[in-house]
Amino acid sequence: MTEILLAIKKIPVFINLNSGSAKHLLPILKRFREVSIQPITPATLPDLIKAEIAAGEDRVIICGGDGTLALAANHLAGSNTALAVLPGGTLNHFAHYLGIPTDVKQALSIALHSQAMDTVDVGCVNNRLFLNTSSVGTYVRFVRTRDYLERYMGYRSASVLAAIRRLVRLRSSRLFFNAEKVRTPLAFIGLRERELSFPSLGKELEQGAHGLHVIILKVETRWEMIRLMFNIIVRGLDPLQKARKVDSRMLESVEIDNHYRKRSIYVALDGELTLQNTPLKYHYIKNGLKVVIPPEIKPL
């Protein structure tokens, strides 16, 4: 009796175990015999992706938060290999944008079997891609404080306490936006147009313009910030924009500089901090990344 052994190639799932919910997904992922679990770090992921591209794979499955997905996108952009997303972060903004469910079984089924693919727009600053948002100023200090506090408490508690600390210790910086001098505690750069009223502040508009949505707060003290946030909640950003407290623009590119001797600053990209040389050169890349999407669902 002749036995025929069929070798079944397992599909690698690259997973960042330090992402928000990735560790909790492991027991479920291990039940699927068609995949192999490969833990990654920011240092090891680039070579793994390059190997998949060189092998001619049509997709790479990444499990992690928006920061991990953005890191993968940096190496997949411009190639014929698509990014397949398994939501493994805390907020999973990019997965939501693509219509990927947070249920791991459904998301894995899409990542493995969906033949529907599309290209999405991405942002770039100094040759580093981002998928959702970037910011300079107070939010960077907030993330650093939150990451420190997370050693001692949960994510949400750390976020609330970090926000309070940063508001109490608010400070503005002198920045130059396309050579225009502005004193601001925060500059926000969103991919695609964002909602400017509460409670959907910052959410992508379904029929919004494409490009970089640059929002600059023009306050110098924490009391001004408190008043500004109150007015945003009550009135939205539009009246404040007319009062010149908020500058909101849709741009294809923007250059941000500090004109200080210190030629590098921390920048938040999809919730992760990176050290970037100034000036920060942002630009919008249309159809820059190939992605796997649910059948019959198209990103905005």
pLDDT number for residue 139: 80
pLDDT number for residue 1: 37
Q: Identify residue 88 by its one-letter amino acid code.
A: G
Structure-token pair, residue 136: 């300079």
Which region, left, alpha or beta, applies to residue 230 given φ > 0 means left and ψ of -120 to 50 means alpha?
Answer: alpha
- Cα 145–Cα 146–Cα 151 angle in degrees, nearest 5: 105
Q: Is pLDDT at 4 greater than 70 in this prediction?
A: no
Q: Which range, 205-209, 243-247, 266-270, has the best average confidence (pLDDT)?
A: 266-270
Q: What is the pTM of this model?
A: 0.83
CATH topology for 133-269?
Tumour Suppressor Smad4 (2.60.200)
Name the pLDDT band for 175 (thresholds 50, 70, 90). Answer: confident
Q: What is the largest CA-CA distance in the chain?
A: 85
Name the pLDDT band for 199 (thresholds 50, 70, 90). Answer: low
pLDDT number for residue 197: 66
pLDDT number for residue 234: 58
What share of the chain has pLDDT > 90, as a percent?
45
Name the pLDDT band for 181 (thresholds 50, 70, 90). Answer: confident
Asked, as a colleague might, if the bond just before 279 is cis with ω within 30 of 0, I would say: yes
Q: Check residues 260 and 134 and name the one with the higher pLDDT.
A: 134
The position carrying tokens 């976020």 is 159
Q: Is pLDDT at 187 greater than 70 in this prediction?
A: yes
pLDDT number for residue 222: 63
Say how far residue 134 (Cα) sits from the centre of its chain.
8
Q: Is pLDDT at 198 greater than 90 in this prediction?
A: no
Q: Where in the chain is the domain with CATH 2.60.200.40?
A: 133-269
Q: Check residues 239 and 210 and name the one with the higher pLDDT.
A: 210
Length of the chain: 300
For residues 210 and 284, is the Cβ–Cβ distance under 8 A? yes
CATH topology for 11-122+288-292?
Rossmann fold (3.40.50)
Mean pLDDT of the chain: 84
Q: Is pLDDT at 192 greater than 60 in this prediction?
A: yes
pLDDT number for residue 126: 95
Q: Where in the chain is the domain with CATH 3.40.50.10330?
A: 11-122+288-292
Name the pLDDT band for 261 (thresholds 50, 70, 90). Answer: low
Strand partners of residue 11: 35
Q: Is pLDDT at 211 greater than 90 in this prediction?
A: yes
Of 15-19, 260-264, 283-287, the range with the lowest mean pLDDT is 260-264
pLDDT number for residue 142: 81
Q: At CB < 8 A and 24+ separation, what contacts does 168-173 make?
A: 168/222, 169/141, 169/222, 170/138, 170/221, 170/222, 170/225, 172/137, 172/219, 172/220, 173/137, 173/258
